[in-house]
Amino acid sequence: MKTISCKVLVLGAGPGGYVAAIRAGQLGLDTVIVDGQAPGGTCLNVGCIPSKALIHAADEFEAAVHFSGKNKLGISVEKPTLDLSKTIKWKDSIVRRLNAGVTGLLKKNKVQLVVGWGTMQDGKTCIVETDDGQLAIKAENVILATGSVPVEIPSLPYGGNIISSTEALALKEVPERLVVIGGGYIGLELGTAYAKMGSKVTVVEAMPSILSQYDKELTKPVAASLKALGVEVLLNTKAKGTNETADGLVVELPDGKEQTIDANKILVTVGRRAKTENFGLEGLDLTMAGRVVAINNKCQTSMNGVYAIGDLTGEPMLAHHAMAQGEMVAEIIAGHNRTFDKVAIPAVCFTDPEIVTCGLSPDEATAAGHKTKIGTFPFAANGRAMTMEAEVGFVRVVARDDNHLVLGIQAVGKGVSELSAAFSLALEMGACLEDIAGTIHAHPTQSEGFQEAALQALGHALHI
Which residues have a catalytic role annotated?
443
Other Cβ atoms closer than 10 A to 340: 16
Collapsing DSSP to helix, strand or coil, 61 comes out as helix
If 0-12 CB within 10 Å is exposed, 13-18 middle and 19+ buried, where does residue 165 land? buried
- Which residues make Cβ contacts (< 8 Å) with residue 145, sequence separation at least 6? 10, 11, 12, 13, 14, 16, 17, 20, 308, 309, 310, 312, 322, 326
Whole-angstrom Cα distance, residue 439 to residue 455?
11
**Which distant-in-sequence residues (6+ apart) come within 8 Å of 328 by Cβ?**
298, 299, 338, 339, 340
How many other C-beta atoms can be found within 10 angstroms of the C-beta atom of residue 235?
14
Who's near 452: CB < 8 A, 6+ residues apart? 375, 377, 381, 382, 395, 461, 462, 463, 464
Burial class (CB in 10 A: 0-12, 13-18, 19+), 21: buried
CA atoms of 8 and 124, how far apart (whole Å): 10
Distances (CA, A) of 256 to 238, 243, 395: 10, 17, 39
d(CA 376, CA 449): 8
Judging by beta carbons within 10 Å of its beta carbon (0-12, 13-18, 19+), is residue 37 exposed, middle or buried?
Answer: middle
Q: Are strands 248-252 and 258-262 parallel, antiparallel or unpaired?
A: antiparallel
Bridge-based pairing of strands 133-144 and 125-130 is antiparallel
Contacts of 56 (CB under 8 A, 6+ apart): none
DSSP 353-416: SEEEEEE--HHHHHHTT--EEEEEEEGGG-HHHHHTT--S-EEEEEEETTT-BEEEEEEEETTG
| Burial of 322 per CB tally in 10 Å (0-12, 13-18, 19+) | buried
The SS3 call for residue 319 is helix
Separation CA 168–CA 150 (nearest Å) = 13
